[in-house]
Amino acid sequence: MQVLVIGGGGREHTIVWKLSQSPKVEKLYAIPGGPGMKDLAECVSLDTADLEGLARWAEDHHIDLTVVGPEAPLVAGIVDVFKAHGLNIFGPTARAAEIEGSKIFSKELMEKYGIPTAFFKVCENAADAKAYIREKGAPIVIKADGLAAGKGVVVAMTEKEALDAVDEMMGHHKFGAAGNKVVIEEFMDGEECSLLCFTDGRTVVPMLPAQDHKRVDDGDQGPNTGGMGAYAPAPVMTDALKEKTMETIVRPVLAALAKEGRPYSGCIYAGLMIKGDSVKVVEFNARFGDPETQAVLPLLDSDLAEIMYACATGTLREDMVKWNPGVAVCVVMASGGYPLSYPKGIQITGLQEASALPGVIVFHAGTKEVDGQIVTNGGRVLGVTAIDKDIARAKERAYGAVSRIHFEGAHYRQDIAWRALKRLK
Ligand code: AMP
Ligand code: GLY
């Protein structure tokens, strides 16, 4: 197979890395790709917003399967365009991807089909939003309706924070049109877990449960980010809870989407809040998680190309998805200042030394090659993943690798996997 991966971040590096191990894959391309992938895939610089242009390129290059990493092209309809050209593609159509593209659509769908989630209200102007916040009080959660790169959510612990968030989203248009409407949501207490599943529209197979670390600083302090680290499998998701999640959340949402004329295939990501034996949806994403993927796919024993091709062609079987024992921990190394403003173009050293360590894979999230040197080129710069037989060892191995890598201002959390470790005490 000739396989094309769309995207250039840490998640896509991980997907490319795993696909490159498949005996079925003869040639891999990535658009735009990045320096971390260039030994595994031919990176092609094309505009990922030009969907017709991408489809024509895929036809010209006899691509047998395209895999889409980020949400933006999915929501924009890349799958629809490729299908119209008769191309196989892994991911949901634009109408199905609305489960991520619009928080309002997603919440209303869950409400209609009785899928457990926080109660909510949609507000179309700041005055309504503020009145509702004053009525409910804090803690309370404010979410921009549209896509905001995982940063359009404010978990407000005080009423003032909540009111300020409304001003930022609806008054100062911090997220542009994505904040024209907001969802105000009940604060859910508990422990979060990400359950990503493969689906071809009929069969759905869960991956290993993972846990992200959304806040920028240790102890889950500071603002929300795209994710500062992850590990899998996450012990908060017991087998019984996983079964419950599949029966009360994942299967029902796929059935609901199908019933609404929006059949879903690709990877569905359920972001969950777990408390005791209750599981509720925080959000759905229409794609792989980043950095969850960097912890989950390294533990996949099966052939990812075979699974993805089966998802794209309606031939997925449960026995296609097998996992290795062991645990993976991914520590994100970010630019100083992230998630606010940060510098770019800072030289990174120690990458080869870290990658040479046993059980370690260094995934590039935001890097660039300049005159043969790898430099920083994003907020999240690297995802350093380590595999070992238990969580404590995997964590130690990951931080051992992190300590070999240097760039000025590098910021990373020291406590990735703390919840899993706390359970062992
Ligand atoms: P989202 O983009 O919807 O996943 O929200 C980003 C993060 O905000 C989540 O991963 C949670 O940590 C937090 N969050 C979102 N909604 C809620 C909620 N209703 N209660 C508590 N925390 C939430
Ligand atoms: N790690 C969170 C996300 O991918 O949305």
Return the residue whose CA atom lies nearest to atom 7 of ligand 1.
153
Ligand in nearest proximity to the CA of 152: 1
CB 234 within 8 A of CB 210: yes
Return the residue whose CA atom lies nearest to atom 3 of ligand 2.
289
Return the residue whose CA atom lies nearest to atom 3 of ligand 1.
283
Tell me the CA–centroid distance for residue 165 and ligand 1, in Å: 14
User: Could you give the 3-state DSSP secondary structure of residue 251?
Assistant: helix
User: Could you give the 3-state DSSP secondary structure of residue 43?
Assistant: strand
Q: Ligand 1 pocket: which residues have CB below 6 Å?
A: 118, 141, 143, 150, 153, 155, 185-188, 192, 214, 224, 271, 282-283
Residue 36 CB–ligand 2 contact under 6 Å: no
Cis peptide before 233 (omega within 30 of 0): yes
Residue 102 CB–ligand 2 contact under 6 Å: no
Q: Which atom of ligand 1 is nearest to the CA of 215?
A: 12
Token pair of 314 as six digits: 């309606």
User: Residue with structure tokens 């895929």?
Assistant: 58
CB 77 within 8 A of CB 244: no
- pLDDT digit of tens for each residue in the chain (425 aa)? 999 999 999 999 999 999 999 999 999 999 999 999 999 999 999 999 999 999 999 999 999 999 999 999 999 999 999 999 999 999 999 999 999 998 889 999 999 999 999 999 999 999 999 999 999 999 999 988 876 665 678 899 999 999 999 998 887 777 766 667 899 999 999 999 999 999 999 999 999 999 999 999 999 999 889 999 999 999 999 999 999 999 999 999 999 999 999 999 999 999 999 999 999 999 999 999 999 999 999 999 999 999 999 999 999 999 999 999 999 999 999 999 999 999 999 999 999 999 999 999 999 999 999 999 999 999 999 999 999 999 999 999 999 999 999 999 999 999 999 999 999 87
CB atoms within 10 A of CB 382: 32
User: Residue with structure tokens 């089966």?
Assistant: 310
**What per-residue string of b and e applies to 210-235 under the rule 16 or more CB within 10 Å gives b?**
bbbbbbbeeebeeebbbbbbbbbbbb
Task: Tell me how far apart the alpha carbons of residues 199 and 304 are, in angstroms, rounded to a whole number.
Answer: 13
Q: Rounded to two decimals, what is the model's pTM?
A: 0.95
Q: What pLDDT shows up at residue 179?
A: 63
Q: Check the CA dihedral 81-201-252-192 and report its sign.
A: negative
CB atoms within 10 A of CB 425: 4
> What are the residues facing 266 on neighbouring strands?
199
Residue 10 CB–ligand 2 contact under 6 Å: no
Residue 71 CB–ligand 2 contact under 6 Å: no
Residue to probe by mutation, ligand 1, list 141, 157, 194, most atoms within 8 Å of CB: 141
DSSP secondary structure string, 219-249? Answer: GGEEEE-S-SEEEES-TTS-HHHHHHHIIII
Q: What pLDDT shows up at residue 145?
A: 80
Q: What pLDDT shows up at residue 149?
A: 60
